Amino acid sequence: MSMSFKELMKVLGLGAVAFVLGVEWLNWLKRRLRDSHGPLKEVLFFPSPQVCVEHLFIHHKHFPCACPLPHGVETSFSRLLVHLLSARMSLDLCVFSFSHMELSRAILLLHKRGVVVRVVTDRDYMTITGSQIGALRKAGICVRHEMSSAVHMHHKFALVDGRKLITGSLNWTLTAVQSNKENVMVTEEPELVGPYQKEFQKLWEANDPANHKPQCTNGQLNIKTCKDR
């Protein structure tokens, strides 16, 4: 029995509606499944035991590491490195004290991979013995420091690709990682990530050397304050 054009159009219309409703249902189901797990939330506590983390820097399953440290052990520090090294596009880092060699190595590796790295740090602690800020600048990473001598830039947080927040009490020092009672929270909760994005951008713009007059010390122009690093 042949179907009239009007009946055919009606069937096709119902089919199109069913298709749209099916797609909407699938999208709803995906959202529910995603929301059931929720955004990333992870808490890391320190001190962290010393283990080998070489495999995080050299991705070769047959890499023969001969160091005496334990291998294949996951720790708070190795998890921190994993989160940092997950950056693909950008890393915004706000850190008071930065002297940890392996963390510096991770940042330099990201820069080498083409990740855009921006660092805001404290003007006094950036020059202490062992600080890695000089190594970052030498590699071409843009670093800005707190311009005011009256306050310290005491934040310790990082933003990975603008969507993952790493924050807590941890200074990026060997003592903090291996000896101190510290905490780090890692989250992709938008309500938490957003305010940190705004805070970083505010500090980045406020400490732009182009917005500050060069300082003079004993009659000598302090050229470093004029550079965008």
Q: Are 99 and 130 in contact (CB under 8 A)?
A: yes
Q: How many CB atoms lie within 10 A of CB 103?
A: 23
The CA distances from residue 4 to 13, 87, 95, in Å, are 14, 59, 73
Q: Are 100 and 177 in contact (CB under 8 A)?
A: yes
Q: Are 207 and 145 in contact (CB under 8 A)?
A: yes
* DSSP-assigned beta bridge partners for residue 183: 45
Active site residues: 154, 156, 161
Helix 76-85 and helix 101-113, axial crossing angle in degrees, nearest 10: 20
